[in-house]
Structure 1
């Protein structure tokens, strides 16, 4: 039911932002705005559907865990 609340609000924000950038003929800002809005819509949809989204800390842990294990085995 939250999806019925989020998407009309996002559409209104996108409509007025798009119209403003289009009127000023600012193509780079329009591209950045559109990409950020697409990212926002994707994250909002995942949140509404209650999908587990990993945090950046999970990625850092995934990258450094083998190095941590190597150093731990080296010094123990």
Structure 2
């Protein structure tokens, strides 16, 4: 847990440096991208540090396309 807190402090330090630069240069898209990636990435990092099982995005793709592939195999066989 201390490692997650340390990473959070480092992220906060980088944000304190980067966000004012992005605002000053009026880079709204980059600021939004930076913020969204941080809001997605940090909780995933904490979950991984705490050994919480994180679903693989490929599992969703497999779930969606598996019936279609089974159908195609049946038709083409």
TM-score, reference length from structure 1: 0.75
Separation in 2, partners of 1:22, 1:71: 52
Q: What value does the CA root-mean-square deviation take over the aligned residues? A: 1.9
Structure 1: which 4+ aligned runs deviate by more than 6 Å? Answer: none
TM-score, reference length from structure 2: 0.75
The Cα shift of 1:11 comes to 1.0
| Preserved CA contact (<8 Å) 1:14 1:37 | no
Match of residue 66 from structure 1? 67
Match of 2:35, SS? helix
Q: Is the deviation greater in 44-53 or in 66-75?
A: 66-75
Aligned length: 76
The Cα shift of 1:34 comes to 1.1
Q: CA offsets, 1:16-63, max 9 Å, x none?
A: 111211222322221221111111212212212222122232122111
Separation in 2, partners of 1:12, 1:28: 21
Match of residue 10 from structure 1? 11
